[in-house]
């Protein structure tokens, strides 16, 4: 995987977090943020294509995931808030010499990417989210259909009867993925992660933060009329449930985007970067070409 890329450990946002990261290429910087329960290896089919097209590509494991560090949490799950994760990403990019960059986030990584764009508008040149609406928006619109389809949000978010005991009893039964779908090396990386109880706990903390402090941050932004300042692209998989849950997905995002808003479906299942890498790269490059007012 990631031929020609550098593998490193870098400091996060000042609370002792350390991120495992791969980076490579040369040109305008792009930060790729994975979802649950993947690692940065989910981008192994996308990152080389972007590097070959003239981009510097940075792919970290989010804090708590993969081989990045797992900070001790607190009662509010603040160390696993998307604000803390976004702070890690900003520190990482600055340590690599990138003051402005595009960010692409999938699934849980999309929430980190959105928070990064909201909290640090001067750093984010453009935002692309895959298969997501803002956490606060999802919970505000939550109904019986959402609860039935996305019940894992509420299961993983429990503290009184923690999900870790169920997952750690048989991680392979809980999580899905195969070497054929993901690629042998990416699957090995993911498989190691889901069999690490510390990683499983940290991933649950991510969801606990989502139901509490992350929602509060989104609601505060909504109340203040704060929106994403940079161009926003929203892509969703045709074989996922975004349209079923939200109807006009772009309409949901219009309240959150102050500037240009692009988007549409990609013929794929949920893991677009693994299942449709060429289509994703084409969509990203088209978006960036149309809205690249600051290439560096």
Dig out the tokens for 92 from the structure.
Answer: 């990482």
* Catalytic residue status for 131: no
Q: Given 13, 88, 107, 221, which residue is catalytic? A: 107
Residue for token digits 């609370």?
A: 15
* Catalytic residue status for 201: no
Give me the count of residues in the chain. Answer: 296
Cα gap 154→79, rounded to integer Å:
19
Determine whether 216 is exposed, middle or buried from the number of CB atoms within 10 Å of its CB (0-12, 13-18, 19+): middle
Cα gap 281→77, rounded to integer Å:
34
Helix locations, 45-178, DSSP H: 47-52, 82-95, 108-119, 135-140, 144-149, 152-156, 164-169, 171-174
Residue 6 DSSP SS3: strand
Q: Given 120, 191, 196, 270, which residue is catalytic? A: 270
Give the catalytic positions in this structure: 107, 270
């Amino acid at each position: 995987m990631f031929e020609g890329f550098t593998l490193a450990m870098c400091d996060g946002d000042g609370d002792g977090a350390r991120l495992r990261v791969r980076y490579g290429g040369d040109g305008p910087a792009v930060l790729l943020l994975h979802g649950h329960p993947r690692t940065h290896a989910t981008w192994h089919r996308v990152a080389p294509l972007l590097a070959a097209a003239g981009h510097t590509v940075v792919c970290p494991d989010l804090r708590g995931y993969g081989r990045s560090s797992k900070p001790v949490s607190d009662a509010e799950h603040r160390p696993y808030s998307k604000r803390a994760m976004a702070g890690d990403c900003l520190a990482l990019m600055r340590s690599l010499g990138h003051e402005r960059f595009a960010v692409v986030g999938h699934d849980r990584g999309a929430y980190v990417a959105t928070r990064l764009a909201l909290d640090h508008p001067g750093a984010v040149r453009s935002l692309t989210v895959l298969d997501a609406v803002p956490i606060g928006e999802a919970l505000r619109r939550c109904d019986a259909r959402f609860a039935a389809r996305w019940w894992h949000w509420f299961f993983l978010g429990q503290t009184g009867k923690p999900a870790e005991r169920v997952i750690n009893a048989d991680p392979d039964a809980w999580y899905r993925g195969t070497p054929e779908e993901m690629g042998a090396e990416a699957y090995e990386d993911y498989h190691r992660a889901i069999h690490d109880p510390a990683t499983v706990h940290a991933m649950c903390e991510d969801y606990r933060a989502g139901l509490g402090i992350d929602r509060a941050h989104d609601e505060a932004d909504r109340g203040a009329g704060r929106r994403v300042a940079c161009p926003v692209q929203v892509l969703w998989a045709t074989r996922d449930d975004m349209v079923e849950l939200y109807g006009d997905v772009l309409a949901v995002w219009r309240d959150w985007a102050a500037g240009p808003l692009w988007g549409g479906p990609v013929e794929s299942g949920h893991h677009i970067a693994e299942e449709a890498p060429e289509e994703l790269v084409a969509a990203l490059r088209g978006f960036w070409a149309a809205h690249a007012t600051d290439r560096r």
